[in-house]
Amino acid sequence: MRNPARTAVILAAGRGTRLGPMGRDIPKGFLQLGAHAIVEESIGRLERAGVERIILVTGHQQRLYEELADRAGGQVRTVHNPRFATCGSLYSLACARADLDDDFLLLESDLIYEQRALSVLQDGGSDAVLLSGPTDAGDEVWVETLNGRLAGMSKDRENLAGEVAGEFVGISRISHNFFEVLMDDALPRLQADPMLEYEVDGLTPAAALAPMPCTVVQNLLWAEIDDEQHLRRARRDVYPAINLRDG
């Protein structure tokens, strides 16, 4: 690995409302498809990718994440978003600002993915948004690029005027310089609208101020679990395929 990021931030404050009663009982990161919760599997992949410090930004059911951090013995710590019920993921990311002084990997807690998703970012440059080819999963976020750099995102592909390079995965590598640009741009807007989301409302505006390359892996295996349909697809198709590919 060339100059790997040693820190990772996992955004884990969401309430999982689209999962119904299941989402009320446990946070999405504690969904279990194999022997461990998906957030624990993600932590294991981060460790294998050279990450030494993991920050979990918590909200809904924070106790479960705090207990996970206690079991991890110091490598994992939590930062709580006390306004998780009325704020979006961009506010959660801002809650971790005081703990971030170097490059970091940024992930969502409700992801399953193959190890290669991290290795391509750790082997690349200091900034990168990871994109995949089409997944047909439903609820995709499409990414528009200009000269290989982030130019726009939308769930409606017709809203993007330029080249659509792929789907937003929810894993990025963020340099400290880019993060400071993002925060300086986002904090005033968060005061007016705390429900902003980190990808469309954070990464995209910041990319207009500082270049953010996009890394495309066409056949990447991954899934985001937002609702019961996503969960069925992840359990039936994606998770077994990831295990076969990663061994």
What pLDDT does 1 receive?
A: 55
What pLDDT does 133 receive?
A: 96
Note whether 118 and 7 are within 8 A (CB). Answer: no
Whole-number percent of the chain with pLDDT over 70: 96
Note whether 119 and 220 are within 8 A (CB). Answer: no
- d(Cα 9, Cα 171) in Å, to the nearest integer? 10
Structure-derived torsion over alpha carbons of residues 213, 201, 234, 41, reported in degrees to the nearest 10 = 70
Domain layout of the chain by residue ranges: 7-246
**Is pLDDT of 17 > 80?**
no
Tens-digit pLDDT profile for residues 94-113: 999 999 999 999 999 999 99
What predicted TM-score, i.e. pTM, was given to this entire model?
A: 0.95
**Is pLDDT of 207 > 60?**
yes
- Per-residue confidence band for 26, with pLDDT thresholds at 50, 70 and 90: confident
Note whether 64 and 49 are within 8 A (CB). Answer: no
- In which element (H, E) is residue 12 found? strand 7-12
CATH H-level, domain 7-246: superfamily: Spore Coat Polysaccharide Biosynthesis Protein SpsA; Chain A (3.90.550.10)
- d(Cα 48, Cα 222) in Å, to the nearest integer? 17
